[in-house]
Amino acid sequence: MDLNILFDTPKPVIGVIHLLPLPTSPRWGSSLKEVIDRAEQEATALAAGGVQGIIVENFFDAPFTKNRVDPAVVSAMSLVVHRVKQMVGIPVGINVLRNDGHSALAIASCVGAQFIRVNVLMGVMATDQGVIEGDAFQLLRYRRELGVDVKIFADVLVKHAQPISVPQITAAVHDTIHRGLADAVILSGWATGNPPTIDDLHEAKLACGSTPLLVGSGATWDNISQLMEYADGVIVSSSLKRNGQIQQAIDPIRVGRFVDAVRSGIAHHKHKHMVEARS
């Protein structure tokens, strides 16, 4: 998969819209209009700040179900993502937490979203929702049945979880790409807001080969230059929120600052490699 074709840049910044609680979730506030208004505001802020992609997820539905979400969640997310796609001219993806790739694919196929994120595509993970087993077999066949070219971005050793099988990064990456047929791999830190280590990123990048590797958590304008030396893109949320607080809305000023840091980091690495090539 070529990220440049999907995002019109070889190293995209993908901003995350954390939806307010949706119908049937424990904190549902009975106002879908409020959910939509917040999502529209954040989509505008992300696009204005210069991100090359957006991913929409039901982050504030916690605690999550480990399997399929309620149909009301699917309906609400379909409506929200449709509205977001009407507002921005950049690729939009979907993550249905905790691990409902089937619903994400269904939504994407109906609203024309270009990619989904799947937290556990392969292997077995002990999570705060219990034991989650990857099901690439059913998910890939469902994509074929739907007849859509929706890309699957799959986490490896996902955050907020511990592996029961394949605890080693290289093996997990190989399985995710070659046996799970993921289009791109995501590597995160141990929890939301925590980055992966540089050593882990380096190992994952070597294992990925030509498959894109994205940072899935913990990126800031202070560390993004280091992270992007090995990563092919970044999925970012916490750093873009007002005051860096996860409960707050997206701040367009922080988005612009983050995107500028990514561009500066990429330019720095290009210059560094050119100097090394001449020496």
Tens-digit pLDDT profile for residues 92-133: 999 999 999 999 999 999 999 999 999 999 999 899 999 999
Q: Return the pLDDT at 114.
A: 98
Pick out the chain residues at pLDDT < 70. 166, 268-279
Burial of 273 (0-12, 13-18, 19+ CB in 10 A): exposed
Residue 118's SS3 state is: strand
Contact yes or no for 77/19 (Cβ under 8 A)? yes
pTM of the model: 0.93
The shares of helix, strand and coil residues in the chain, as percent rounded to the nearest 5, are 45, 15, 40
Q: Return the pLDDT at 166.
A: 64
Q: How many CB atoms lie within 10 A of CB 168?
A: 12
Q: Return the pLDDT at 164.
A: 86
Q: Return the pLDDT at 272.
A: 62
CATH architecture of 12-278: Alpha-Beta Barrel (3.20)
Packing angle of the helix pair 101-111, 136-146 (nearest 10 deg): 20
Q: Return the pLDDT at 62.
A: 95
The alpha carbons of the chain give a radius of gyration, in whole angstroms, of: 18
Tens-digit pLDDT profile for residues 197-208: 999 999 999 999
Sheet holding 130-133, edge to edge: 130-133, 124-127, 161-163
Q: Any idea where the domains of the chain sit in the sequence?
A: 12-278
